[in-house]
Amino acid sequence: MKNISLLILSVLLIVLSLVSCTDKNIEDMLSGQESRNEDISDKQVYTVKTYKAYNILTTRCMVEYPTILKITSKAELDEHIATAASFIDNSTGESRNELEKCKEFMEVVNQYDNEYFENNILVLVLVKSGSGSLKFRFTDLLDSGKIYIEEEYSTFEMPLQFSIMAYYHIVIEVPKNHPTVKANTDFTLEIYRVLIQY
């Protein structure tokens, strides 16, 4: 009986010593984890910003392609819509606005009112397709003001009689607190090509 009591006491002491060691290790680990979190929070962490953008097939405008336009008010947006693709019809002599005929474009730009422009601007990137181009797509805007546009292209050559130029408006919503807007500097453009194989 005495031996059994000693055995039970020994086992209890071993268990208690293991638990106390484990608690200490857990405390050490937690305090170490907290200090690591403090170290991380002290450093600059890169965060990816997202911008809402529309990639819209439109019509030829009277600009030198590619071009970037900063639209800072509803009045500027209305002016662009009214004049960018306004042509005189040679047969009738009347002015016609081809941009207003682009339904998707008009649906997008009609959502921007004076209230939107209180805290935001629009950046319009106008690009046109070259030989083999399929479509354009906005991918990124850096704090430096560099805009990245992806151009999908194919090595499949269309017969000359079927090759048609395509013109795009890429409409990007940018807050007025963006560093390029705050510094009143120009946005820049980088178009990179991505091969689509069939």
If one counts every other C-beta atom within 10 angstroms of the C-beta of residue 194, the result is 11
Residue 77 structural domain:
53-195
Q: Is 109 exposed, middle or buried (0-12, 13-18, 19+ CB in 10 A)?
A: buried
Same domain, yes or no, for 168 and 80? yes
Same domain, yes or no, for 162 and 102? yes
Per-residue pLDDT of the chain (198 residues; tens, 9 = 90+): 555 655 565 555 554 554 444 444 444 444 444 433 444 444 444 455 799 999 999 999 999 999 999 999 999 999 999 999 988 888 888 888 999 999 999 999 999 999 999 999 999 999 998 766 678 999 999 999 999 999 988 776 655 444 578 899 999 999 999 999 999 999 999 999 888 876
Same domain, yes or no, for 99 and 11? no
Same domain, yes or no, for 63 and 159? yes
H helices of the chain, where?
Answer: 2-42, 74-83, 103-109, 116-119, 179-182
Same domain, yes or no, for 189 and 116? yes
Count of domains for the chain: 2
Same domain, yes or no, for 34 and 113? no
Contact predicate 134/154, CB 8 Å: yes
Contact predicate 125/119, CB 8 Å: no
The residue among 25, 44, 63 that closes a domain is 44
Same domain, yes or no, for 2 and 98? no
